[in-house]
Structure 1
Amino acid sequence: MLCSKVPLNTGTSVIALVEENETTHIQKAIKVKTMTDPVDGTEQSELDRELCIKCVTSVTQDSIYIDKETSFPVHLFSGEFMPYKGDLLLVEYSMKTGTSNMDIHTVSPLSSQNMDEVCVTSTDGKTGVVESCIFFTEDSLQKPTDYTPGLYDIVNVVAVDSIQPHCSWRAVSMIPVEMYIDQAL
């Protein structure tokens, strides 16, 4: 899945999240992001920094983990929301000399997308799905204080790349446009 609307051509610089089939050991790109501008205006060679895509494995009050041993402080994350397990992040890092440990410099969402007038297609307690592909959980959703997402509500959402069961996006913000009112009540 391409994370931006820039068409891919031979020679286009990309960064990819790759999954390996455990049986065949064949690798397949899950997400691909085109790299058109250097991160924060710096050249890679100038700082000997590299980019990679990582998936959040857990989040504590102070740290965000991208695997069992690798974490970074929450303050390094440049997004306007708290990452959630499964979110895909673009990590700028360098390797500590003489080790296999990463020095993480900046972290941001892999990509985000504004989606207007989309429909809540399922709800289950504090979780749900918008347009059958955007996962949300009220525990991490920015929304009006008095609003609880309901089935068939029409909403505007901001979503980020995420790996959730049957979904490739996670809503980080939701604002109701039109709420469905059950006529049977």
Structure 2
Amino acid sequence: LSGQPKLKTVQGVVTSFCGDYGVIDESIYFSCDVVTGNEPLKVGQRVNAVVEEDTALYGLKAVEVDIVPHGAGPSDAGTKLLVGCITSISEGTVYISDDIYFSLDIVSEDFVPYQGDWLDIEYSDEPGISNIKAISAKHTRWDHAEEVCITSFRARNGVIHNNIFFTLDSVKLPPGYQPQVFDTVDVVMVESSHFCYIWRAVSITPAQKSPGSPDDGGPGRLERKWQSQIL
């Protein structure tokens, strides 16, 4: 339902602690009071976590953390899901951290990732190696906005509707179109962390006004229309 937090369950490894807070897979933070059971958590332990987006901190937080028992059969078998943020992309390799990386070839064909993007990564563990074996990766969420205004643009980076980041280095544009401040556009975006923004535009198209529609008069009179879909 609209307005309710969007939850997902993931399995990962506790990678760090700081006081009463911890981090799973170097990307999902949690407080110790959401850990179930009486066994104290340690770095390196595998856990199941119920995760939601934290809009205040522009990241992901776990609202429930369960320790995976040692030697658990079905939980450790097969593939698992990791939620991570891209720290860099170099020579065809996507890096989530120094220990978590994979080939760009496994990313879904309709998506070109960029630094800061959040990904759902399907993976399996391989005994004897420190890095996970990633099987597939795709953006965690995407969204669509119609008739929104470009509110700033400098050099190669800009912002749409004051909350959607874009860069000419990674956005699809119609042939011959150059974004300008106050342009009214339609946008396809993915969840991504850039400064104080949690969305990155992957496609920008000039909005088509209906015949006879009045002039919008600038960004203050624009109407935003959202169509959300969680993948």
- TM-score class, shorter-chain normalisation, is 0.7 to 0.9
Q: What is the identity, as a one-letter code, of the residue corresponding to 1:14?
A: T
Aligned counterpart in structure 2 of residue 50 of structure 1, from 59, 77, 80:
80
Please say if 1:120 is aligned against 2:150: yes
**Quick one: structure 1 residues 152 and 119, their matched pair in 2 at CA, closer, same or farther if it must change by over 3 Å?**
same
For 2:75 and 2:119, how far apart are their aligned partners in 1?
Answer: 22
How do residues 78-117 of structure 1 correspond to structure 2 at under 5 angstroms?
Answer: 78-117=108-147
**Quick one: structure 1 residues 56 and 5, their matched pair in 2 at CA, closer, same or farther if it must change by over 3 Å?**
farther
TM-score, scaled relative to structure 2: 0.61
Q: Secondary structure at the match of 2:169?
A: helix
Please say if 1:133 is aligned against 2:163: yes
The aligned residue for residue 94 of structure 2 is 64
Aligned counterpart in structure 1 of residue 21 of structure 2, from 18, 25, 50:
25
Q: What is the identity, as a one-letter code, of the residue corresponding to 2:9?
A: V
Q: Secondary structure at the match of 1:170?
A: strand
Q: Secondary structure at the match of 1:160?
A: strand
Q: Secondary structure at the match of 2:120?
A: strand
Please say if 1:168 is aligned against 2:164: no
Please say if 1:75 is aligned against 2:105: yes
For 1:150 and 1:71, how far apart are their aligned partners in 2?
Answer: 36
Sequence identity percentage? 30
Q: What is the identity, as a one-letter code, of the residue corresponding to 2:107?
A: F
Q: Residue deviations 1:35-63, cap 9 Å, x none? A: xxxxxxxxx86952111111111113422
CA RMSD of aligned residues (A): 3.5
**Quick one: structure 1 residues 60 and 119, their matched pair in 2 at CA, closer, same or farther if it must change by over 3 Å?**
same
For 1:83 and 1:157, how far apart are their aligned partners in 2?
Answer: 16
- Contact 1:63–1:72 under 8 Å retained in 2: yes
In structure 1, list runs of 5 or more residues that go unmatched: 34-43
Q: Please state how far the C-alpha of 1:166 moved relative to its aligned partner.
A: 1.1
Q: Please state how far the C-alpha of 1:68 moved relative to its aligned partner.
A: 2.4
TM-score, scaled relative to structure 1: 0.74
Aligned counterpart in structure 2 of residue 148 of structure 1, from 174, 178, 185:
178
For 1:97 and 1:16, how far apart are their aligned partners in 2?
Answer: 17
**Quick one: structure 1 residues 150 and 13, their matched pair in 2 at CA, closer, same or farther if it must change by over 3 Å?**
closer
The aligned residue for residue 37 of structure 1 is none
**Quick one: structure 1 residues 5 and 111, their matched pair in 2 at CA, closer, same or farther if it must change by over 3 Å?**
farther
Q: Secondary structure at the match of 1:144?
A: coil
**Quick one: structure 1 residues 147 and 47, their matched pair in 2 at CA, closer, same or farther if it must change by over 3 Å?**
farther
